Amino acid sequence: YCVEFRTESLSQHCALETRPHARWMQYLREGHTVCVACQPPAMSPATRRCSGDGHSAHGDKILHWEAIGNSQCRGTWKKIRQLDHCSCPPVHSFIFT
């Protein structure tokens, strides 16, 4: 499944990332919608959910995220909706880890 979030805030360290494999962090923006996929390697066997997917979050609850590979690139987002069938666009798509 996938979860759509609206980015509320992010640290300045995201824009400063220059390593080739991590340049995607430069494109994160406040107010943008991102789509995050929950795939089996990241799922809890007991719950079949990914940690941090905002399952119990409703309304205006602010959730925290951190980019893998750059712990200084972090921020907050709000859950928009969960999609049982992923149709994330290639841009602004991520994977839970």
Work out how many domains the chain is built from and give that number. 1
Residue 90 domain-assigned (yes or no)? no
Residue 40 domain-assigned (yes or no)? yes
Residue 95 domain-assigned (yes or no)? no
- Model's pTM, two decimal places? 0.81
| Dist. CA 69–CA 56, nearest whole Å | 27
Domain range for 72 is 2-83
Dihedral sign, CA of 48, 36, 76, 81? Answer: negative
- What DSSP letter does each residue of 78-89 carry, written as one string? EEEEEESS----
Residue 39 domain-assigned (yes or no)? yes
Residue 94 domain-assigned (yes or no)? no
Instruction: Using alpha carbons, select from 60, 44, 46 the residue that is nearest to residue 6.
Output: 60
Residue 48 domain-assigned (yes or no)? yes
The pLDDT of residue 75 is: 93
pLDDT tens track, the chain, 97 positions: 999 999 999 999 988 888 888 888 888 889 998 888 888 888 898 998 988 888 887 767 899 999 888 889 999 999 999 988 888 777 667 777 6
Residue 28 domain-assigned (yes or no)? yes
- Name residue, tokens 């340049």: 23
How far is Cα of residue 58 from the mean position of the Cα atoms in its chain?
16
The pLDDT of residue 92 is: 63
Residue 43 domain-assigned (yes or no)? yes
